[in-house]
A and B are shown apart, each in its own frame.
Chain A
């Protein structure tokens, strides 16, 4: 902002867009082509959205030469940034815009996913609304398919509408090879090595949901995209369940038919709930609630 004041004195020395995308806090933006900006069709409807639309557009396209006081200039400057943002949301879903954003994505200009299991997968900027001034920009991780708040407050205050709700999804439709392999790897809370019951029950349920989805997709012959994907019933991330199963076998003697039948269920479900296998083993794997400390 301050920098701009001096540079704008002479109109043609510095391109406004160059300055804009290189200034601090605007790292998420890519440069919009001159041709795109000058095609009125691309700007349809924005004149009602932006104050001093014409001046702002002149400023963005480096043809601004109005003599005015600082206050006015300030207002126009603000409008110009708003206009740039709104055009940006449209531009980045065009072929050229997608390519430019893809470059930035590959360089991880938008940051990396904070989720540990995503292994620093690059993020994409996104909005939760296409209407300006509603929601700030968020970051989307294609690996865990979730949205995160930008680390820095500079980025967290950018309007989400400058990226829009569709861009990141369109990117992966246009470049399907870039869709990262999904992973069922996850964090399981443990106390002294024992899974916590409440969390473990939820994890089992979620694994069931995942299994259902993969079955559905397989029925429709759609690739599920999981890298660890051969057997969709392999489910549980835990090797110790096998141990539980073993224990269960040893113990079942008296329970006869029932245990046998449980065992079948276990085998059917591929060890998701090996915990059903043995009466005494079921608690071994999880620390039940209690006043631990």
Chain B
């Protein structure tokens, strides 16, 4: 039965318009109809076939082969991962299906839709759709004062359903928050997944993250001629809500509370950011510092005299102590040096 044209409102769009489902994108039917995209979901969702039919608004055919997905514990609507094809005894329930099973199928369908959704929003079409929702401010804003209402992204803390509810990831402070409205506390985080938030930022690096959420979509400009690319991100987009001036400083009658006080600040590192963001370009810093010496090492390694070995050891020692002094500059391997060096010239 045709799904798209005839019905006034599809199951998918009615699902997405439910209260609390504002974060969901409408998964395209093409995506769902491609079996490849559903790989492995049979085992995760009870009454998979019926649920899939419901999502696609296909009239359920009178059960010819419905034993396939039915299992004994039809009450198991939580959709926990099932251990493969279990006991198959669909036969006896053929008649009771219509009345009681509908709600079971409904919740299975929601589970299935959520799991497809998790995959969909990481696909090209899906992430595009989510970016439109992002621009429209559907995902809310960061509650942190110094983030200035940066738009957030819905994420899960787990990819496995039933573990945690949906959270909001703020790209400005790189932290996750509980959605302000309690209606989202019924939405499973796995329906968005761990990947989406970070993937979104990598996919759309041009968004100006420092813009306020209250500003209209049209204003959400794309930063042009910003030269600074660091670690694969525009420098200005690396945690714009962190760093000096964006850290809360506890004060009593205008005097800052000392770090040495028992009640002094202990968590400022969490909102800190290097003054000079290029410090974070570890690979390039490593290249600049160690590039020459590495060549040295290679040469000396070819000669086997003890004198050279001693010298090498001295270099190594010197390098080690310098490294201890500048802890943050050195997280690159020789290989990373090449790759990142090349990239930064792009």
Which residues from chain A sit less than 8 Å from chain B, CB to CB?
114-117, 120, 128, 138, 140, 143-149, 151, 165-166, 168-170, 172-173, 176, 179, 182, 186-187, 189-193, 196-199, 201-211, 213, 216-217, 220, 222-226, 255-258, 260-262, 264-265, 268-269, 272-273, 275-283, 287-293
9 further interface pairs, Cβ-Cβ under 8 Å (given A166-B253, A273-B327): A114-B143, A114-B180, A148-B145, A187-B169, A187-B175, A191-B195, A258-B297, A265-B320, A280-B333
Q: Is the CB of A146 within 8 A of B331?
A: no
- Asked whether B280 lies within 8 Å of A173 as measured between CB atoms, the reply is no
A168 to B312, CA, bound (A): 56
6 tightest Cβ-Cβ pairs between the two chains A and B: A289-B232, A189-B198, A198-B231, A282-B333, A210-B269, A172-B263
Q: Which of A144, A173, A201, A226 contacts B261 (CB 8 A)?
A: A173
Judge whether A151 and B180 touch: CB under 8 Å. Answer: yes
Q: Which residues of B contact A179 (CB under 8 A)?
A: 262-263
Query: Are B327 and A257 interface neighbours, CB within 8 A?
Result: no
User: Which of B251, B260, B319 sits near A220, CB closer than 8 Å?
Assistant: B260
Nearest chain B CB to A150's CB is how many angstroms away?
9
Residue of B nearest to A152 (CB): B180
A279–B335 alpha-carbon span in the complex (Å): 6
Are B253's CB and A268's CB within 8 A? no
Q: Which of A165, A182, A202, A269 contacts B266 (CB 8 A)?
A: A182
Q: Are B282 and A166 in contact (CB under 8 A)?
A: no
Q: Are B174 and A289 in contact (CB under 8 A)?
A: no
Q: In the complex the two chains form, is B294's CB within 8 Å of A276's CB?
A: no
B206 at the interface (CB under 8 A from A): no
- Interface of B (DSSP majority class): mixed
CB interface residues, B 286-332, toward A, < 8 Å: 294, 297, 301, 312-313, 316, 319-320, 323-324, 327-328, 330-332
Whether the pair B280, A201 counts as a contact (CB closer than 8 A) is yes
* CB contact under 8 A between A269 and B270, given known A202-B239, A202-B280, A289-B233: no
Pair B269/A213 contact, Cβ less than 8 Å: yes
| B141 (CB) vs chain A CBs: closest residue | A149
B116 to chain A, nearest CB (A): 17
Chain A residues near B331 (CB, 8 Å)? 201, 204, 273, 275-276, 282
Instruction: Evaluate contact between A292 and B271: CB separation under 8 angstroms.
Output: no
Residues of A contacting B202 in the complex (Cβ-Cβ under 8 angstroms) = 191, 196, 287, 289-290, 292
Using Cβ atoms and an 8 Å threshold, which residues of chain A touch B231?
197-198, 201, 289
Q: Who on chain B is nearest to A186 by CB?
A: B270
Q: Is B1 an interface residue (CB 8 A)?
A: no
The smallest C-beta distance from B284 to any residue of chain A, in angstroms, reads: 11
**Given B195, B230, B270, B319, which contacts A144 in the complex, CB threshold below 8 Å?**
B270
Judge whether A115 and B263 touch: CB under 8 Å: no
Q: Is the CB of B266 within 8 A of A145?
A: yes
10 of the cross-chain contacts (CB-CB < 8 Å) are A145-B250, A148-B144, A187-B174, A190-B195, A198-B233, A208-B327, A217-B259, A265-B330, A283-B335, A289-B343
Q: How far is the CA of A287 from the CA of B215 in the complex (A)?
A: 31
A222 near B328 with CB under 8 A, answer: no
CB distance from B331 to the nearest CB of A (A): 4
* A165 close to B232 (CB less than 8 A): no
Complex Cα gap A206–B238 (Å): 13
Contact call A290/B232, Cβ cutoff below 8 A = yes
A272 vs B331: C-alpha distance in the bound complex, in angstroms?
A: 9
Say how far A106's CB is from chain B's closest CB, in angstroms.
17
A192 to B301, CA, bound (A): 40
In Å, the complex CA distance between A166 and B254 comes to: 8
A222 to B259, CA, bound (A): 9
Expressed in whole angstroms, the minimum distance between the Cβ of A225 and any Cβ of chain B is 5
CA gap between A292 and B127 in the complex, in Å: 11
Which residue of chain A has its CB nearest to the CB of B229? A289
The answer on a CB contact under 8 Å between B265 and A145 is: yes
Contact call B267/A282, Cβ cutoff below 8 A: no
A277→B174 CA distance, assembly (Å): 26
Name which of B242, B259, B327, B328 has the most chain A CB atoms within 10 A of its CB.
B327
Q: How far is the CA of A86 from the CA of B251 in the complex (A)?
A: 19
Q: Are B272 and A206 in contact (CB under 8 A)?
A: yes
A257's partner among B167, B194, B253, B301 (CB-CB below 8 A) is B301
A114 CA to B335 CA, complexed, in Å: 41
